[in-house]
Chain A
């Protein structure tokens, strides 16, 4: 591989990783802080993408979808958490079954509503050209994804470190029971955190839609990738999601191209390797006591 190609592939890997970060950040939050195994995360992503489809088909406004879709998905999360998940605190198998059920319902209803055809949306206006990078064309939208992801990470970091909500979340990751004992309304905090996580998944759906398309089964792929990123990076911290995405994105990209025979399993092998060397993930802080 020549240096130029390497750099281009690295760029591909980073932009893929950027997308993975947006996708996984929410799951890391939900899992790390609320200790909830949310297997509906892929379905939230899918919902975000389909809402984007609806908006773009009707109004042609991608940037509108950027706000509306996460809001819709976040609202759904805000409703689902107290309704279904609250009573399952600590019961992981039940959470697994419930969230699988929710994802089946969401995916099927989306298929029934929008039809099971493959849909795609054009790149948003202004970002639909390619620019010259290192002597070759590169789609501007991918650069936008990288930039957006960095900005989002920054915003989340600020919330995490500088706001009350962030402090509560950090405390919740450390010791939710103590927080409860200190008089914080844990129920409300958890609902909001879940909603935030869901909204982030929805946001990932919007951003990814022009790149990956909108089709039945997209939720399973997204779920698997986000689980891998979260587990590799370590649960409960933003930096974990960054580390995980930063490793998985480029590894997947280079792996597919360099080792096509193992492409299907490469990312899983990497995850297994990381887990065997660092059982709680690269930057994991949460001790899973079972």
Chain B
């Protein structure tokens, strides 16, 4: 027997055994799921269905760059359920299945398949990164899985677009967070009109969210008579912001509109101060994530005076917000951030919808209709979904960073009421 034959035989042996082992591993790794195969029993009564605990699938980042957001949103979700005694709309809720989106659309797609095919969740929530939301939109729509999206703000997800590219709205997808248009458009108009700003310079992170925000701001600002004198972009995750702020300082327009979040925002604000921008008369403005609590807790007073727009601030003075902030602080010894708020509102919406359907999620149309009819007072103000786009309709606050009670927070300066995403 020639050696090549032997080698082939060993290889085939290995293929066979590994394939078998693999198949066994995949089969063995399924947790003992409840009885019936995927062919759903549509003819069950509401009572039978309500008896089965509600399964929620939460796709959030727990590793890589957005891990902090995932943790924040998990905290809010867990707290909400704890407060409600693990019951939503009268129905018992199983502990949510949390999966890591790992900032990779391929991983997000696979975990979404897991929710649909293996866990057979009744409702899906989460997704932080817009590309991941875009990637799984079709799978969710095809599976008729109700999805309450609690962060990703890419405009297309709740709009009518050409060829559904990069994404488009779906009957089953509801967005409880925001569309980036909602954050950057009203402030553009506000700047030109109420604030009387004539010229602005934009500086954004060079990726989807940044460029989309910049475009929305520019369109609104220019439509209202303002002039954008120039723009600068920084690659996502830039380590060093000194070079960019040096360029900003070298140009004459004092009002800078920026979009950054997380580490970028922190480094930007630090560089801003180190180069003496405030003293030189430059004013930092931007979309709210620039100065959200995750950033403020690190930069503290270095962002004082920054004017940003967002649909919430930790200092919002209403009963629901006080209750939310107090409960969160008591449980976690931390101030909540807007991501926690988004998750919280997602749960509230789910709760109210389930109350309307008496806990039934098997009738998809009724579930969707119930979500469309959701209306409540959220810590951010009046909350409801747009019947057409399923994007949240909310107030946009103009905020300014200040120190209150020893913490750097966003104080409310003004408000643009009932901002509805245009949907096209």
- Listed in ascending order, the chain A residues whose CB lies under 8 Å from chain B are 1-2, 4-5, 8-9, 12-13, 15-16, 111, 115-120, 130, 136-139, 141-142, 211-213, 215-217, 221, 253-254, 256-257, 260, 263-264
Contact = CB atoms under 8 A, between A and B. Distances in A.
Contacts of B206: 260, 263
A116 B67 contact: yes
14 contacts: A4-B250, A8-B246, A9-B243, A12-B242, A116-B62, A120-B270, A120-B299, A130-B276, A136-B249, A211-B240, A256-B238, A263-B206, A263-B233, A263-B234
A260 B232 contact: yes
Interface centre among A2, A120, A141, A263 (most CB of B within 10 A): A120
Nearest to B244: A257
Interface string B312-354: 0000000000000000000000000000000000000000000
Nearest to A120: B298
Interface stretch (B35-43, B81-89, B216-224, B259-267): B259-267
A213 B267 CA distance: 8
A137 B68 CA distance: 33
Contact of A130 (B234, B274, B294, B299): B274
A208 B276 CA distance: 21
B298 A118 contact: yes
A217 B275 CA distance: 27
Given A260-B232, A263-B235, 5 more contacts: A118-B298, A120-B298, A139-B275, A213-B298, A257-B246
A111 B266 contact: no
B417 to A, nearest CB: 33
B377 interface: no
Given A137-B276, A256-B235, A116 B246 contact: no
Nearest to B279: A137
A257 B206 CA distance: 12
Given A8-B246, A212-B240, A118 B71 contact: no
Nearest to A140: B274
Interface of B: 62-65, 67-68, 71, 206, 232-235, 237-240, 242-244, 246-247, 249-250, 262-263, 266-267, 270, 274-276, 279-280, 294, 298-299
A150 B239 CA distance: 21
A5 B242 CA distance: 12
A67 B244 CA distance: 32
B263 A118 contact: yes
Contacts of B64: 216-217
Given A221-B239, A257-B244, A264-B235, A213 B266 contact: yes
Contacts of A213: 263, 266-267, 298
B274 A120 contact: no
A118 B68 contact: yes
A108 B280 CA distance: 43
A256 B244 contact: yes
A13 B233 CA distance: 18
Contacts of A115: 71
Top 4 A-B residue pairs of the complex, sorted by shortest distance between their CB atoms: A137-B276, A116-B67, A139-B274, A120-B298
A119 B233 CA distance: 24
B68 A12 contact: no
Given A118-B298, A256-B235, A215 B240 contact: no
Contacts of B68: 116-118
Contact of A216 (B63, B240, B247, B280): B63
Contacts of B266: 118, 120, 213
A118 B337 CA distance: 14
Contacts of A212: 239-240, 267
Given A137-B276, A211-B240, A256-B234, A9 B246 contact: yes
A5 B245 CA distance: 11
Nearest to A141: B274
Given A130-B276, A212-B240, A213-B267, A118 B294 contact: yes
B243 A116 contact: no
B235 A5 contact: no
